[in-house]
Structure 1
Amino acid sequence: MEEEFDFGFTEDPKFSVERYEEMIRNHDQYFFDAQAFENIIDYYIEKNDPAKALQVSEYARNQHPFAAVFLIKQAQLLVVTNRAGEAFAALDKAAMLEASDADIYIIRGNLYESMERNTEALENYEKALDLAEETDEILLHIAYVYQNMGDYETAITYLKLCLKQNMENQDALYELAFCYDVLDNQEESVQFYQQYIDNEPYSYAAWYNLGNAYTKLSLFEKAIDAYDYAILIKDSFASAYFNKGNALVNLEKYAEAIEVYRQTFEYEQPNADTYCAIGECYEKLEQMDEARSFYKKSVKMDPKLADAWFGIGVTLDFEERYFEALHFYKKALDLDIANADYWFAIADAEYKLGHLKEAEDAYEKVVELNPLDVDAWLDYSSIMYEQKRLVNAIEVISQAIKNNPDAAELYYRMVAYLFARGEYNEALNYLEMALASDPEKHYILFDYLPQLQENKVIIDIINRYCK
């Protein structure tokens, strides 16, 4: 017969763990009180050893068959080890022993939430709300479920309730920002965070989210002020430095942005995105060697970062090294095949290399992906005009106007093409439309066909609108 010892008297968790491990080694049977077993289970959970924690919960259940706590612990561990069916069974048994324990409904809610069985998840969380003393995490989970259901308005209601319970719940603050983002309701977001900050002026997360909301409203100066407060409260807040850098870029303060981006390296490991952002600033400052160096660091860290490959191409393009630039543009395109900007750069480089067919194909792709890109339509038609393919050029501009009926440049270009083709009456019709749209841009016509400055009819029509 195995010896039984009662080690329930101790409150020292370390002692309980040592005695438990001794029991296992010796194949003995010691008795532990419920608190000691809880301590042992928690020790293994902290050690990230769910298998051992489960083994302890089994011993605990044998010794304390009417304690619901061990069934609840067991259910939590079964969830972690992806054994949902067994977890549900353990929770059902726990509910028979102690139906008023909120944890039963929280864990069951988590399980249903992970299975996207949203109605059942909500039912369990609502039950938990009635039973639990602290409810902010439950309210947060209810908000998650509504987000999964696409009901962001209701999610916001629960996130605000969560923050009312616990002003310091960082997850709720970030989720709230996310919901306002999805609803594209930055004004309300700003209003909420301003009120929140009135009550909680030292919340770096609230200042940070306020900065993000201002950024989305293109109020970059205000955004920078908000990020500065976030940094003042938490000077190691790398994301606030990064977003402040982005706001400075939007204000075209590239040198300042570089300094701010570099500050992130004091608080977190350099990453590909930050290197790429610094590269872009140097590119805007036309310091192409520096830009290329940072873009290269970026792709070395993350070879799948298309923007960095593209950036290398831009620096080479600037130096008129079009053939090399094309190579890097195409690497970027391989990673992001539907990026209209990449296609545009490729079209331009192919054109500069004299590859008109390839340039034309690339422009066709640009306008297919982004039919609102007026410059692309103009360049696309230009290639045809240069090859005396006037019918094609007119067709392209006609398509462009259908997609961009308010772009005066397209009408002026159409006038030039129609004149070149000898379709004078039609050209004059388009000239009237162009001038009605934007008379100031009539110089576009003369840039393209300078000889029209000698045409009295055209000058008379222009003077009528410009006066």
Structure 2
Amino acid sequence: MALDAEERPSQPITKFESMLKTDDVYFFDAEDFEDIIHHYLNNGKIALAKKAIKIGLQQHPESIEIKLLHIEVLVFENKLEDAEKMLDELQTLDMHNEEIYIQRANIFSKKDNHIAAINLLEKALEISEDTFDIYSLLGMEYLFMDDFELAKKSFMKCVEFDDEDYSSLYNVIYCFEFLEDFDGAIHYLNDYLEKNPYAEVAWHQLGKQYFSKKMYKEALSAYDFAIISDDTFIGAYFEKGKVLEKLGLYNEAIENYETTISIEDPTSHAYLRIGKCHEKLGNTDMAKYYFYHTVHEDPLLDKGWLAITDFYYRLKNYEKAAYYINKATNIDGENPLYWKKCGKIKTALNKLDEADFAYKQAVDFGNYDLDTWLLWADVVQKNNDLESAIQILKQGREFHPDDAAILFKLSGIHSLLSETKKAQKYLAEAIILNANGLEKFQINFPEFCATDWMKNILEQYKNASK
């Protein structure tokens, strides 16, 4: 297994690199070669690792450890058949080397046979004294299989071995979150923090769990402890700012976002949040200033362009809103929320064909909200395509079968087509589901409401509501 990636070049590494620059050949112990190879693998210098392996095997042709490192490189390069042949040879020499099972497991994992990989890793556990890395590999295999419960247990083992293994700690919490067991995550983190009270990463993760449960005061406390543990922890300041926003404390939120900028280089996300806070405070010019800084810092951040879009939409400057929503859709053309916003803007500009297209895109990319169907049908209706409006509403009804709004709308459009029986049918169904929509229906379709049949329905409704 690879050593610590943070290791500094040792004397053997310096000596090895000096050898490569000359025609001299130096002798190294097999253990030195292992350290040299690990160093290059950990730093992503595969070519140098392969050179060290070649020379190492020339000097120590029987070294199983160097051969295993050679196999690790072969697996990394997807030369799986060559790796398997070498493993077969090694297994005849050493049946009880856990690394052989680990590398076979890596090969099966590469072939997406995760069950076989897990079986081999479990065999490695049986014969290994150092099981830390094996549990980490097991956790990843379970993640590949979407077995988050067993993955969580494997990563918990890693944290038990090393309570500063934050990578495994993150994975444990990820599993809790995927299982939507936020209470379990909170309990686990609190237990962890009793033993490690100054672990800023754990406090940060605890704050996020409280935030998910809308326990904002508890989240603030957790982030404060994270900052006490490490006053340069940018993530804690940023997340604390988000909590303060939820509590309506926008000036305090801005202070935390500005702290992240003072600690490190500014980020587009910090500028975006500051802009949102200023907008909530009514500081229009400051909001615009920070929104523009957002997209200047990261021109590919679609949320930045959307923030500017929303800013101008609220000011009813629809031309500018249209310009900036185009920027957002150019960056992420499959985002249904952007297309929905585009539909609203084009409607406000009375560009009905373009609005029709935008709402179609929103639906095609997965936005099935009730108001999306209704807004789309409104646009098509305004464009005098009543038949298409009916088809849109019928399609929307498949996603919202028990909502009266679509039925009221269907009734009204059929009335415009003089299809009285269909109009009456849908209206009767709508009233049964939710009669409160009648008042709006009367405003939108006054001519139909003036008919004798409709007057009778309204009279019955009034009598029933007394």
Residue number among 318, 325, 333 corresponding to 2:321 in the alignment: 325
- 8 Å contact kept, 1:204–1:230: yes
Structure 2: distance between partners of 1:396 and 1:44: 60
| Residue of 299, 302, 318 corresponding to 1:303 | 299
Stretch moving more, 449-458 or 261-270: 449-458
Match of 1:103 in 2: 99
Aligned match of 1:140:
136
Residue 213 of structure 1 and its aligned partner are, at CA, apart by 3.4
Cα distance in 1, alignment partners of residues 48 and 340 from structure 2: 59
Contact 1:282 1:291 in 2 (8 A): yes
Q: Please say if residues 352 and 383 of structure 2, whose CA atoms lie closer than 8 Å, have aligned partners that are also in contact.
A: no
Structure 1 residues 165 and 152: CA distance shift in structure 2, 3 A: same
Structure 2 equivalent of residue 363 of structure 1: 359
Partner of 2:65: 69
Name the aligned partner's letter for residue 323 of structure 2.
Answer: H
SS at match of 1:179: helix
Find the aligned partners of 1:370 and 1:43 in 2 and give their Cα distance.
47
Q: What is the aligned partner in structure 1 of residue 311 from structure 2?
A: 315
- 1:166 corresponds in structure 2 to 162
Cα displacement string for residues 69-115 of structure 1 (whole angstroms, at most 9, x for unaligned residues): 33234444555566555555555555455443433433443344344
Tell me the distance in 2 between the aligned counterparts of 1:364 and 1:66: 67
Alpha-carbon offset, residue 335 of structure 1: 3.0
**Correspondence 1:242 to 2:238:** yes
C-alpha deviation, 1:364, in angstroms: 4.2
Higher mean alpha-carbon deviation, 373-382 vs 383-392, is at 383-392
Q: Which residue of 2 aligns with 1:349?
A: 345
Classify 1:442/1:228 alpha carbon distance in 2 versus 1 (closer, same or farther; 3 Å). farther
Distance 2:380 2:115 in 1: 60
On the 8 A contact 1:41/1:53 being kept in 2, the answer is: yes
**Is the 8 Å Cα contact of residues 413 and 444 (structure 1) preserved in structure 2?**
no
Structure 1 position 129 matched with structure 2 position 118? no
What's the CA shift for 1:141? 0.7
Query: Of residues 271, 275, 278 in structure 2, which corresponds to 1:275?
Result: 271
Aligned-partner SS, 2:146: coil
Looking at structure 2, the residues matched to 221 and 177 of structure 1 have their Cα atoms a distance apart, in angstroms, of 21
The 8 Å contact of residues 74 and 90 in structure 1, kept in 2 or not, is answered as no
Rounded to whole Å, the distance in 1 between the matches of 2:241 and 2:45 is 42
1:336 aligns with 2:327: no
Aligned 8 A contact 1:415 1:445 in 2: no
Work out whether residues 371 and 403 of structure 1, in 8 Å CA contact, stay in contact via their aligned partners in 2.
Answer: no
Tell whether the 8 Å contact from 1:329 to 1:346 is kept in structure 2 after alignment: yes
Q: Deviations over 1:366-410 (max 9, x none)?
A: 455556433333333444555676666566555544532443444
Where do 5+ consecutive residues of structure 2 fail to align?
Answer: 1-8
| 1:317-352 deviation per Cα after TM superposition (whole angstroms, max 9, x unaligned) | 233322232122122223333333222222222222
Alignment correspondent of 1:9: none
- Give the Cα–Cα distance (whole angstroms) in 2 for the partners of residues 93 and 356 of structure 1: 72
How many Å separate the matches in 2 of 1:383 and 1:67?
75
Give me the TM-score of the superposition, normalised by structure 2.
0.78
SS at match of 1:297: helix
Rounded Cα–Cα distance in structure 1 between residues aligned with 2:261 and 2:236: 12
- What is the CA–CA distance in structure 1 between the aligned matches of 2:283 and 2:209, rounded to whole Å? 32
Question: How far apart, CA to CA, are the structure 2 residues paired with 1:96 and 1:198?
Answer: 48
Equivalent pair of 2:152/2:175 in contact (CA under 8 Å): yes
Distance 1:212 1:26, change over 3 A: closer
1:173 is matched by which residue type in structure 2?
Answer: L
In the alignment, the residues of structure 2 paired with residue 234 and residue 24 of structure 1 have an alpha-carbon distance, to the nearest angstrom, of: 43
Higher mean C-alpha deviation, range 297-306 or range 388-397:
388-397
Is the 8 Å Cα contact of residues 336 and 367 (structure 2) preserved in structure 1? Answer: no
1:142 shift after superposition: 0.7
Conserved? CA contact 1:299–1:305, under 8 Å: yes
Q: Give the whole-Å Cα distance in 2 for the aligned partners of 1:201 and 1:111.
A: 40
Aligned partners of 1:191, 1:274: CA distance in 2, in Å? 31
Counterpart selection for 1:153 from 127, 149, 155: 149
Aligned counterpart for 1:261 among listed residues 246, 257, 264: 257
Are residues 421 and 457 of structure 1, via their aligned partners in 2, closer, same or farther at CA, if it must alter by over 3 Å?
farther
Indicate conservation of the 8 Å contact 1:69/1:94, yes or no.
no
More moved, 369-378 vs 339-348: 369-378
- Following TM superposition, by how much is the alpha carbon of 1:309 offset from its aligned partner in structure 2, in angstroms? 2.0
Segment drifting more, 229-238 vs 387-396: 387-396
Q: For structure 1, which runs of at least 5 residues remain unmatched after alignment?
A: 1-12
- Within 5 A, what are the aligned runs for 1:386-397? 397=393
- The SS at the match of 1:337 is coil
Tell me, yes or no, if the aligned pair for 1:208 and 1:227 is still in contact at 8 Å. yes
Select between 150-159 and 197-206 the one with higher mean Cα deviation: 197-206
* 1:127 positional shift: 2.9
Aligned to 1:5: none
Aligned residue type for 1:293: Y
Shift of 1:144: 0.7
Structure 1 residue 181: deviation in Å? 3.4
Q: Tell me the SS of whatever aligns to 1:264.
A: helix
Taking a change above 3 Å as real, the CA distance of residues 233 and 153 of structure 1, as seen in their structure-2 partners, is: same
Maintained 8 Å contact 2:261/2:270: no
1:205 corresponds to: 201
2:289 is the counterpart of 1:293: yes
- Paired amino acid for 1:346: C
The whole-number CA distance in structure 1 between the counterparts of 2:418 and 2:313 is: 38
1:407-464, CA deviations, whole angstroms, 9 ceiling, x for partnerless residues? 3444555566677777788767666655554455554345546897999756644444
AA of the residue aligned to 1:167: D
> What is the CA–CA distance in structure 2 between the aligned matches of 1:186 and 1:258, rounded to whole Å?
28
Give the direction of change, closer, same or farther, for the CA distance of 1:448–1:133 in structure 2 (3 Å limit): same
Q: 2:185 aligns with which of 172, 189, 198?
A: 189
Q: Aligned with 1:227: secondary structure?
A: helix
The 8 Å contact of residues 393 and 410 in structure 2, kept in 1 or not, is answered as yes
Of the structure 1 ranges 109-118 and 411-420, higher mean CA displacement relative to structure 2 is found in 411-420
